[in-house]
Structure 1
Amino acid sequence: MPRTLRITRSHKLATAVLVAAGSVTAIAATGGQSDAQPAAARSSVAAEKTATEVTAAKAAEARKAAAKETAAKKAAAERKAAAATAAKEAATKKAVAERKAAAEKAAADRKATAKKAAEKARSEKQAANRSTERKAVAAPKQYKNNLDGWIRESLDIMKKKNIPGSYEGLHRNIMRESSGNPNAVNDWDINARNGVPSKGLLQVIQPTFDAYHVKGTPKKLTDPVANITAAANYAADRYGSIDNVDSAY
């Protein structure tokens, strides 16, 4: 009786252990099988350990997968941010390049406009100069056809030919010699008696006129301008200037 009770209690213990591990084992033997109890216990512990390891492995895999997903999301976000930064930098560089190109073009346009304006101004100035030159050639300086005009024209010619003399010197001698008459003729002095009378404003004889005639004036003894310039040229050679003559010369 006591033996049977002990076995029954062992059976109950073994059965309880097996149920906790998820396995129910029918114990048919009722005899001395007390050595099966440690094996069952070990089996239960192993099962529990295996389940724990599987759970831990699954948890590790889950953590690993989560970490991988997080890393992938972070990398994607970083790539997106880098792409956005690169795009912004590219846009900034493009804008800077466009502003620089626009500024250079504007400067080139201003330079071209200024050059064109300068060329136009130079062309207009040259045209104006040519027009002035043509007018100067077409419209020579005008002198009055009187004693004042003859003296002034003679002075301009004398200046070009480096013949000294002043308005006062010419006028003074003309008034003494001919009273301002370009056709005055001296028919009583020695020159007249010799057949070469003095004529014109400054009473010049023909041989003196021929010798001192100034190129560019008429070759006519009584021409007012030709007579004055020839006489002034002669006086410059003999007296240094017509201004130094105060009597018959």
Structure 2
Amino acid sequence: MDGGGAHIEVTIDTEEPIELGDFVSAFTSIANQYERYMKREHPDLRDDAKVYVREVRTGSIIADLVPHAGTLISLMDQILIVRQFVHAYGERLSVYLGGNGRLDDASKGELDDLMKQVGAIAKSKNGKGQIAAVVYENGQRQVRAAVTFNTNESRAAIKQIEDHRKALDAISSADRQRVLMVFKRSDVGSADVGVKSGERVIIESLSDRDLPLIYGSSLAEERIKDQMRNIEENIYHKGFVVDVNVQTRGGRPAAYAVTHVHQIIDLDV
């Protein structure tokens, strides 16, 4: 359990005291992500995919987390696993640190972990965090991979992750998935989420009538409006493969609330 000279170094640098929950979450989120990574990339070692705290140093909070990836792999393999994990984790976290990206394959559990990872930094006025893959060779500390983030980036990430979670909740509650929607009346102006937009669409697999369109998520509204505003092609010659909640009146469809846009296709007209 000595980590073979390779470990994950987590740095939390804040001007204010850190809440205990945020402190613990910064480490448990990495442990969860490491287990997911090992299950995905090294399934033969997943039973040994555990992370242990070796040392917490004073000053800025700097914790050495020692991944245990089995007793039969070599030192070089352990170093490689730690480096690749931090690199992969950093890439996924960085998508949200930019404040305008999303991971198509992220689960709610992973989104929770990513949010917890940056929670302490986001609450600080001028905080900095880092996750690094560190090895010691001939007594010299070497950083093989790292991701860093500050307060502003962490706050942007939390907002983006929260929006992504809401979108996933909307998708999971959809009445119909992957149905073809065509516009009969459109409007390039912005529309509020959850109320009738003034636009009308038809989904032939559900009803032969055109019905009012409701944007059930901000992500769906953004993607459809972007198609209207920035693409020169005729919106009425496009089909939208969407998930929808069907609102009914008297047992008949009365409006469609679009929660997710899977694909935009050209129609044969």
TM-score normalized by structure 1? 0.24
Structure with the greater relative contact order (CA < 8 A, sep ≥ 6): 1 or 2?
Answer: 2
Flag the structure with higher strand content: 2
